[in-house]
């Protein structure tokens, strides 16, 4: 049942006082949910956050709800997708990094995903695009709560495998698109290669549009997860957008992403479902940095992290903050811009609470996400979260607590060496967003006190992981005793 909103209270009170007919079930059914996930999306890759390439659809969408300046994701594609689906730190589920081809991977079937939770609550569910949290049959979207899916089971980069001159299909699997429905094994369809990647996001959008058109006016609400593959390499752009920016293909891709998001939002309007749909739009991590001789490029062929230092897999803010926004007309106030800390982990419990299904959140395992529904609905001014623990692989690279960021390990770029520091490095990311002035050393240990709350956070996490040992990558796990 949907939470008893202020709007519904007003309607019901009027019915009691003036004899107005009460709303029908169809009018008060739970809201639809659409999650739009952009791949390798820099915080500064939208014009409302500084991009010189215009993204008018995304900017307009942001103004219709709440835009999070401090939306924090995980360090790579796989862990962020895991966090969205489980509300659990990915290291708990063995999904803390992108598995190399041939390595064990994927969520254990025991994990209870947001798609399973919503499906059990009566939602229709679908995923179109990139999955990347289970490459093997038995760990695909249709095995984890989705009624139907189409897309790829591994990373976007797989499109380039067959274009390398050394590729040998006898020793490495040839990438394909996949399709599946709940209750049956998924199966390979056409080849996933460079031409396939070039039109992939358009086809994702086509399927999303079709799904909304055939589902929105049914009796049951729907949950639609759209996993775009732009801006992830290989860097290709749909022919319709090739050259439109006059500034190169990364800028062209911004036009493509904005257009595809616009098509989905326009479809919601066309079927009169926009007011009844929660739409969330975020990235999965910041842009990567490419090796350039002895140094590193500042962005992924043009990707912008805005004022933030670092990029994909570094632990700095540029890799951990992406655009983030939510719209729900009549429930989420329009025009709100906030610097309160939000984690992608919070999506799971927040959505469950917003649709009145918090009782379905598992209690037999740690859930690291925090319910942010009261903050998002404007019932309180501050987030319920004060800290972010940033893992890169198996290691805690950093802890952000309020406006202070404590680094134990650092990497300057996506492909650079990792440095372990004698003393933690401390930055004030509100005053110093580029994380350039290190406080611990430069101020003579004056900021050492911040280790008190940080140590408490990490001690509590260690105790939790001792009580609930982390699942290993690819492990067939069936629960805690």
Token readout for 214 is 């055939």
Task: Calculate the CA 356 to chain-centre distance.
Answer: 22
Residue 288 pLDDT: 80
Is residue 444 scored above 80 in pLDDT?
Answer: yes
Is residue 137 scored above 80 in pLDDT?
Answer: yes
Q: What are the backbone angles phi and psi of residue 251, rounded to the nearest 5°?
A: -70, -35
Residue 390 pLDDT: 98
- In this prediction, what percent of the chain has a pLDDT beyond 70? 91
Residue-wise DSSP of 18-81: H-PPPPPTTTSSPPEEEEEEESS--TTSSGGGT-SS--HHHHHHHHTSEEETTEE--SSHHHHH
Q: What are the backbone angles phi and psi of residue 129, rounded to the nearest 5°?
A: 120, -135
Q: Measured on CA atoms in the order 81, 83, 86, 89, is the torsion positive or negative?
A: positive
35 touches 277 (CB < 8 A): no
What's the rounded mean pLDDT across residues 275-279? Answer: 98
Lowest mean pLDDT, pick from 113-122, 294-303, 332-341, 379-388? 294-303
C-alpha dihedral, 292 to 295 to 296 to 297, nearest 10°: -70
pLDDT interval class at 212 (50, 70, 90)? very high
Lowest mean pLDDT, pick from 6-15, 207-216, 412-421, 459-468? 6-15
Ordered structural domains, the chain, with CATH: 32-386 (3.40.720.10), 388-467 (3.30.1120.10)
Residue-wise DSSP of 337-385: EE-S-EEGGGHHHHHHHHTT-GGGS-SSS-------HHHHTTSSSS-S-
- pLDDT tens digits along 60-104: 999 999 999 999 999 999 999 999 999 999 999 999 999 999 999
- pLDDT tens digits along 156-188: 999 999 999 999 999 999 999 999 999 999 999
Is residue 477 scored above 50 in pLDDT?
Answer: yes
- Of 248, 14, 219, nearest to 122 (Cα)? 219
Helix (H, G, I), strand (E, B) or coil at 119: helix
């Amino acid at each position: 049942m949907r939470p008893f909103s202020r709007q519904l209270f007003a309607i019901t009170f009027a019915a009691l006082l003036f004899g107005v007919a009460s709303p029908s079930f169809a009018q008060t059914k739970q809201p639809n949910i659409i999650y739009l996930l952009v791949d390798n999306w820099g915080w500064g890759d939208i014009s409302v956050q500084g991009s010189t390439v215009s993204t008018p659809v995304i900017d307009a969408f942001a103004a219709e709800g709440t835009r999070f300046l401090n939306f924090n994701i995980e360090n790579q594609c796989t862990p962020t997708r895991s966090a969205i689906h489980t509300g659990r730190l990915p290291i708990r589920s063995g999904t803390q990094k992108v598995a190399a081809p041939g390595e064990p991977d994927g969520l254990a079937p025991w994990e209870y995903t947001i798609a399973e939770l919503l499906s059990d609550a009566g939602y229709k569910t679908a995923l179109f695009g990139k999955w990347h949290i289970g490459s093997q049959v038995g760990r695909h979207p249709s095995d984890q709560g989705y009624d139907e899916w189409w897309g790829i089971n591994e990373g976007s980069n797989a499109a380039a495998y067959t274009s390398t001159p050394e590729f040998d299909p006898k020793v490495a699997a040839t990438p394909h698109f996949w399709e599946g429905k709940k209750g049956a094994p998924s199966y390979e369809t056409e080849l996933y290669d460079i031409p396939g990647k070039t039109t992939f996001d358009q086809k994702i959008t086509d399927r999303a549009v079709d799904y909304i058109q055939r589902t929105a006016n049914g009796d049951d609400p729907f949950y639609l997860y759209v996993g775009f593959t732009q801006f992830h390499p290989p860097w290709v752009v749909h022919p319709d957008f090739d050259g439109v920016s006059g500034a190169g293909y990364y800028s062209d891709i911004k036009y493509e992403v904005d257009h595809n998001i616009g098509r989905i939002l326009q479809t919601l309007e066309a079927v009169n479902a926009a007011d009844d749909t929660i739409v969330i739009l975020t990235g999965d991590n910041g842009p990567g940095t490419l090796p350039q001789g002895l140094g590193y490029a500042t962005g992924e062929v043009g990707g912008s992290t805005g004022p933030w230092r670092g990029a994909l897999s570094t632990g700095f803010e540029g890799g951990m903050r992406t655009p983030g926004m939510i719209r729900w007309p009549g429930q989420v106030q329009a025009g709100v811009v906030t610097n309160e800390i939000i984690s992608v982990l919070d999506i799971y419990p927040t959505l469950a609470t917003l649709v009145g299904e918090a009782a379905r959140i598992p209690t037999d395992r740690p859930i690291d996400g925090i319910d942010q529904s009261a903050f998002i609905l404007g019932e309180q001014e501050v987030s319920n979260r004060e800290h972010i623990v940033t893992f890169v692989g198996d290691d805690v690279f950093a802890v952000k607590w309020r406006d202070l960021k404590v680094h134990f390990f650092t990497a300057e770029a996506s492909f650079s060496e990792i440095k372990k520091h004698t003393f933690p490095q401390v930055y004030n990311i509100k005053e110093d967003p580029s994380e350039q002035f290190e406080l611990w050393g430069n101020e003579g240990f004056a900021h050492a006190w911040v280790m008190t709350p940080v140590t408490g956070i990490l001690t509590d996490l260690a105790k939790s992981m001792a009580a609930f040992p982390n699942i290993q990558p690819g492990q067939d796990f069936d629960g805690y005793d």
